Amino acid sequence: MASSPIGIFGGTFDPIHYGHLRLAEELGEALNLAEVRIIPAGQPPHRGEPRTPATHRLEMARLAIADNPRFKLDAREVRLERASYTVDTLTDLRAELGSQQPIWLLMGADAFLGLTTWKEWRRLFDLANIAVAHRPGYRLEQADTLNEELRQELERRQAIQAADSTAGCIMLKSITPLDIAATAIRSTLQSGHSVRYLVPDSVLTYIQKNQLYLTA
Ligand code: ATP
């Protein structure tokens, strides 16, 4: 019998917010994932140096997921002293977990729309399945936003039977639409306004205690 699938959810998490947590919760439930590994990026290759040190982003993620038994924090990317690429992280995880382990790479629609710019993006499908959650403001089904190569992969890989698949499928999933973004949270904090109920209270307390996001 195939082992229960696990989910991999990477991001800058600067800071982690309820948009991230609902994505992990809803895809975790929909795919019956045994665990969801939250993997904060060290130095994201696409977006320059994140403004908040990895230790803070890691600690906020730890606090945010502390009471969820399905969520596990994985610090491997922040421990790297070079840029972290998803294809490399997945290659390591695949080696650790074995070829029979179903793996789902979780992401929001905006990340998926940019997938063809990722390092060795086609190889991602050899390593994992991809589950894409809808996100307000990003339209997945529109030909004008979807790169032609990606549209073809989507068409082909959505048709593959996902049950027990170890890698190679794509699933699109509607989740509770939450128009929350870390960029907006940072600028709200910089202008001295409240981000309560956009992030868990434990994360808010940590932000205040460490005086994060006070300057642009
Ligand atoms: P920023 O505003 O700094 O770009 P972000 O809020 O988009 O940050 P990231 O850490 O870049 O957060 O995102 C990590 C992953 O979470 C990505 O796959 C992204 O698509 C997804 N994601 C983030 N916010 C949401 C949301 N509100 N709804 C659905 N997916 C989301």
Angle, helix 201-209 to helix 54-65, in steps of 10 degrees: 150
Give residue 145's pLDDT band: very low, low, confident or very high (50, 70, 90): confident
Determine the Cα–Cα distance for residues 74 and 39; give it in Å rounded to an integer. 5
State the pLDDT at residue 46: 60
Residue 41 CA: nearest ligand 1 atom is 10
Residue 192 resides in a domain: yes
State the pLDDT at residue 163: 73
pTM over 0.85: yes
Residue 178 resides in a domain: yes
Residue 67 resides in a domain: yes
State the pLDDT at residue 1: 53
Give residue 74's pLDDT band: very low, low, confident or very high (50, 70, 90): very high
- Residue 103's φ and ψ, nearest 5 degrees, are -125, 135
Q: Whose CA is nearest to atom 22 of ligand 1?
A: 108
Residue 177 CA: nearest ligand 1 atom is 28
Q: How far is the CA of 11 from the centre of ligand 1 (A)?
A: 7
Model pLDDT for residues 147-192, shown as the tens digit of each residue = 889 999 999 998 887 777 999 999 999 999 999 999 999 999 999 9
Domain that holds residue 135: 6-204
Res. 114: pLDDT tops 60: yes
Residue 209 resides in a domain: no
State the burial class of residue 75 (Cβ atoms within 10 Å of its Cβ: 0-12, 13-18, 19+): middle
- The contacts of residue 208 (CB under 8 Å, 6+ apart) are none
Q: Are 87 and 127 in contact (CB under 8 A)?
A: yes
State the pLDDT at residue 161: 73
State the pLDDT at residue 141: 76
State the pLDDT at residue 47: 57
Model pLDDT for residues 21-65, shown as the tens digit of each residue = 999 999 999 999 999 999 999 865 565 565 799 999 999 999 999
| pLDDT over 70, % of the chain | 94
Q: How many domains does the chain have?
A: 1
Tokens of 113: 């729309």
CATH number for the domain harbouring residue 100: 3.40.50.620
Residue 151 resides in a domain: yes
Q: How far is the CA of 153 from the centre of ligand 1 (A)?
A: 22
Bridging pattern class, strands 103-108 and 6-11: parallel
Q: How far is the CA of 39 from the centre of ligand 1 (A)?
A: 13
What distances in angstroms separate CA 104 from CA 120, 158, 190, 214, one per listed residue? 17, 14, 35, 36
Q: Whose CA is nearest to atom 31 of ligand 1?
A: 108
Q: How far is the CA of 111 from the centre of ligand 1 (A)?
A: 8
Residue 138 resides in a domain: yes
Give residue 143's pLDDT band: very low, low, confident or very high (50, 70, 90): low
Residue 109 resides in a domain: yes
Q: Whose CA is nearest to atom 26 of ligand 1?
A: 19
